[in-house]
């Protein structure tokens, strides 16, 4: 359907609005991709990072940390090795999801350029770097490892959304 039609002495000019519909469909697909990426990132952050509190509370409740201090482990070495191990455990599913999203061509949330993938990887790394020490601090509130999981997940859901 022609929105505007003009003709004069054998020359004609037509205009239509079909391109606007194509742009709306492309924009809708991009928003859907961002929504899907947000859900995946949220679940990664909620479940993986929130599960680190179980071991931290269990070590404190059973005095395993105290036994390591008595056997000669230094305070800095204990917490640094815990952080490095937990951070590596956090990075494995994060980069697995990054590789999955980079290979799925239908999602437009992570662009095929390395800049979009770099920004997403940086977001994952910075969130893990900030949330794991927060989990360690938050673990001092609880005495039971399994009672600490629900409030931790609830706070992550509130903080992320």
Residue 38 has pLDDT above 80, yes or no: no
DSSP, residue by residue, 100-147: HHHH-SS--SS-SSHHHHHHHHHHHHHHHHHHHHHHHHHGGG-SSTTT
pLDDT tens digits for 23-35?
Answer: 556 666 666 667 7
What is the pLDDT averaged over residues 80-103?
86
- As a whole number, mean pLDDT of residues 28-43 equals 70
The position carrying tokens 């952050």 is 45
* Alpha carbons 79 and 73: distance in angstroms, whole number: 10
The answer to whether residue 86 scores a pLDDT higher than 90 is: yes
Q: Average of pLDDT values for 57-69?
A: 85
pLDDT in tens, 1-23: 555 555 667 777 666 655 555 55
pLDDT band at 89 (very low <50, low <70, confident <90, very high): very high
86/80 Cα distance (integer angstroms): 10
Phi, psi of 13 (to 5 degrees): -135, 130
Q: Which residues contact 153 (CB under 8 A, 6 or more apart)?
A: 46, 47, 50
């Amino acid at each position: 359907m022609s929105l505007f039609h003009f003709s004069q002495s054998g020359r004609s000019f037509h205009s239509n609005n079909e391109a606007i519909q194509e742009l709306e469909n492309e924009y809708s697909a991009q928003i859907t991709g961002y929504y899907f990426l947000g859900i995946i990132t949220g679940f990664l952050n909620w479940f993986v990072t929130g599960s680190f509190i179980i071991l931290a509370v269990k070590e404190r409740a059973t005095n395993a940390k105290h036994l390591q201090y008595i056997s000669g482990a230094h305070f800095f070495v204990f917490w640094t090795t815990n952080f490095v191990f937990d951070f590596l455990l956090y990075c494995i599913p994060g980069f697995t999801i990054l590789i999955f999203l980079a290979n799925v061509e239908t999602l437009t949330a992570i662009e095929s350029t390395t800049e979009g993938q770099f920004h997403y990887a940086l977001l994952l790394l910075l969130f893990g770097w900030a949330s794991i020490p927060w989990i360690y601090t938050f673990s001092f509130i609880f005495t039971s490892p399994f009672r600490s999981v629900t409030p931790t997940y609830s706070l992550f859901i509130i903080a992320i959304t």
